């Protein structure tokens, strides 16, 4: 080991997040004795039962995350619409539907999933810059609560589709407030240069036009400024800008029934300290009250913060491959299961299923990589691990934007999913079979 690597290795020993209380997602994801558990279920046993890679979620962790929002909104007229793009597995949608949530959807597929999971269509809101006519028709037929319209052109198309189906589309206009959420550029959505929403300065005229169209009924206003936001300031700024607009729109004689502040609250991936949902909302509500908007119906669209820390991806070490410049820990999960590192250079904490109180002196600094044939297929860079083939690792904070973004790249099956409730584990999605992968394709 060279001097630089020796120093890095020993520095990492001190910063290695090995103690149970420091695991993102604690207390529902924790070591019990030597074994990493999700609630009352030992992940090693789940891996033996269902094989790897395997996503495992804690029901209690999801409900605790939801409860923080519910506490924040206690006594208010508020609707939480889970942004199901974060994790759209049916059992998870069912859990949120049964807990009173509505859903923020972005496609006809998400609408069908939400309805299949028991969603109340009136609590469904439809966001997205590229809704097709067919998707609009399906959502109108289902009787969804609101279309979050993202462009002036979409207003005309939605009006036409609504008139054609004999329905009136309830709409909200998504405002682009031009606020910097200070997050990764790919997941920042409320800046002028982003494709989302209608420019702040075009909002009033757009409402005036929309309010005159017979196929539309204005019900709200919305914004969503980005994702994995760890600072409260952008929310407070966006709220001020939205409320200024509501004042102007209502002064023009167009009543606004609900104000939707989007989602975006970050989670702890690597010691991140985003505000807690209840604390953030008590500040935001104080601002609403101070500006005399406290009686308006509130909507929010959280995704990641409801499910992100509730999930882990269990993976098995296939090979340890020491090298002159880099050591590699090759595991059976890959960028098709966990696309966030490759896409956003995202950090996910990786821990062994067997608790290691002390790292052995033969621990190596390694890149944790998958079997996919490209160098972008990495899950963690420069992690200090003491593992051998056959050991299992857990990639933490994998409840959001992992399975929902998973693919069959390299003709790999998408992983199985298990939902844990106390000491019980439920298989909520089978691993793709080979037949699943070949279905729908035709030889010439």
Question: By CB under 6 A, is residue 203 in contact with ligand LLP?
Answer: no
Q: How far apart are CA 331 and CA 14, in angstroms?
A: 25
Give the residue from 265, 216, 350 showing the smallest Cα distance to 86: 265
Q: Compute the Cα dihedral for 202, 203, 208, 212 and give only its sign.
A: positive
Contacts 24+ apart (CB under 8 A), 98-103: 99/63, 99/66, 101/66, 102/145
Question: By CB under 6 A, is residue 304 in contact with ligand LLP?
Answer: yes
- Smallest separation, CB 264 to ligand LLP (Å): 4
185, exposed or middle or buried, with CB in 10 Å at 0-12, 13-18, 19+? exposed
- Smallest separation, CB 79 to ligand LLP (Å): 13
Interface with ligand LLP (CB under 6 A), residue total 21
Question: By CB under 6 A, is residue 224 in contact with ligand LLP?
Answer: yes
**What residues from 329 to 368 belong to the interface with ligand LLP (CB under 6 A)?**
340, 344
% helix, strand, coil for the chain, step of 5: 35, 25, 40
**What residues from 160 to 199 belong to the interface with ligand LLP (CB under 6 A)?**
187, 189
**What residues from 83 to 102 belong to the interface with ligand LLP (CB under 6 A)?**
83, 86
Q: Which of 145, 220, 302, 341 binds ligand LLP (CB under 6 A)?
A: 302
Question: By CB under 6 A, is residue 262 in contact with ligand LLP?
Answer: yes
What per-residue string of b and e applies to 339-355 under the rule 16 or more CB within 10 Å gives b?
A: bbbbebebebbbbbbbb
Catalytic residue selected from 101, 313, 373, 402: 373
Q: Which of 228, 268, 309, 315 binds ligand LLP (CB under 6 A)?
A: 228
**Helix boundaries (H) for 16-103:** 43-50, 59-72, 90-98
Kind of pairing between the strands at 392-395 and 311-321: antiparallel
- Which residues make Cβ contacts (< 8 Å) with residue 98, sequence separation at least 6? 118
Q: Which of 25, 190, 263, 274 binds ligand LLP (CB under 6 A)?
A: 263
Q: Which of 135, 301, 316, 332 binds ligand LLP (CB under 6 A)?
A: 301
- Smallest separation, CB 25 to ligand LLP (Å): 16
Is 402 a known active-site residue? no
Q: In the stretch 17-46, what mask flags binding to ligand LLP with x, by CB under 6 A?
A: ------------------------------
- Smallest separation, CB 381 to ligand LLP (Å): 17
Q: Which of 39, 104, 135, 316 binds ligand LLP (CB under 6 A)?
A: 104
- Asked whether 310 and 269 are in contact (CB, 8 A), the reply is no
- Asked whether 195 and 141 are in contact (CB, 8 A), the reply is no
User: Using CB under 6 A as the criterion, which residues of the chain lie in contact with ligand LLP when the complex forms?
Assistant: 83, 86, 104, 127, 187, 189, 224, 227-228, 262-265, 301-305, 340, 344, 401
Catalytic machinery residues: 373
């Amino acid at each position: 080991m060279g001097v630089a690597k020796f120093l890095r290795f020993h520095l990492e020993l001190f910063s290695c997040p090995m103690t149970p209380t420091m695991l993102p997602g604690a207390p529902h994801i924790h070591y019990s004795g030597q074994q990493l558990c999700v609630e009352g279920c030992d992940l090693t046993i789940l891996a033996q039962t269902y094989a790897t890679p395997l996503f495992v979620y804690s029901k209690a962790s999801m409900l605790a995350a939801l409860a923080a929002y519910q506490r924040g909104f206690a006594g208010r007229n508020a609707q939480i619409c889970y942004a199901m793009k974060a994790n759209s597995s049916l059992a998870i949608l069912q859990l949120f539907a049964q807990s009173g949530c509505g859903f923020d959807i972005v496609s006809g597929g998400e609408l069908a999933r939400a309805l299949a999971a028991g969603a109340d269509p009136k609590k469904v809101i439809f966001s997205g810059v590229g809704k097709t006519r067919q998707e609009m028709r399906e959502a109108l037929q289902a009787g969804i609560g609101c279309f979050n319209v993202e462009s002036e052109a979409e207003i005309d198309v939605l009006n036409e589709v609504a008139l054609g189906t004999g329905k009136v589309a309830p709409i909200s206009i998504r405002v682009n407030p031009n606020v910097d959420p200070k997050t990764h550029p790919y997941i920042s959505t409320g800046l002028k240069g982003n494709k989302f929403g209608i420019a702040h300065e075009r909002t009033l005229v757009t409402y005036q036009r929309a309010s005159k169209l017979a196929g539309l009924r204005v019900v709200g206003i919305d914004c969503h400024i980005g994702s994995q936001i760890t600072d409260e300031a952008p929310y407070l700024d966006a709220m001020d800008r939205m409320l200024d607009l509501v004042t102007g729109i209502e002064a023009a004689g167009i009543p606004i029934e609900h104000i939707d502040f989007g989602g975006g609250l970050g989670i702890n991936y690597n010691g991140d300290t985003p505000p807690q949902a209840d604390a953030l909302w008590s500040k935001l509500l104080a601002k609403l009250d101070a500006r005399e908007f406290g009686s308006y119906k509130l909507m929010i669209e959280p995704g990641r913060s409801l499910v992100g820390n509730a999930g882990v991806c269990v993976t098995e070490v296939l090979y340890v491959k020491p090298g002159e410049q880099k050591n590699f820990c090759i595991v059976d999960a890959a960028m098709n299961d966990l696309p966030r590192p490759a896409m956003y250079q995202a950090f996910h904490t990786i821990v062994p299923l067997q608790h290691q109180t002390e790292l052995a002196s033969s621990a190596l600094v390694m890149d944790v990589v998958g079997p996919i044939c490209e160098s972008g297929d990495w899950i963690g860079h420069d992690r200090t691990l003491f593992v051998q083939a056959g050991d299992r690792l857990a990639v933490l904070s994998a409840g959001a934007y992992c399975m929902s973004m998973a693919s069959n790249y390299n003709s790999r099956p998408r992983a199985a999913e298990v939902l844990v409730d106390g000491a019980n584990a439920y298989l909520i999605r089978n691993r793709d079979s080979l037949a699943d992968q070949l279905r729908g394709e035709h030889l010439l």
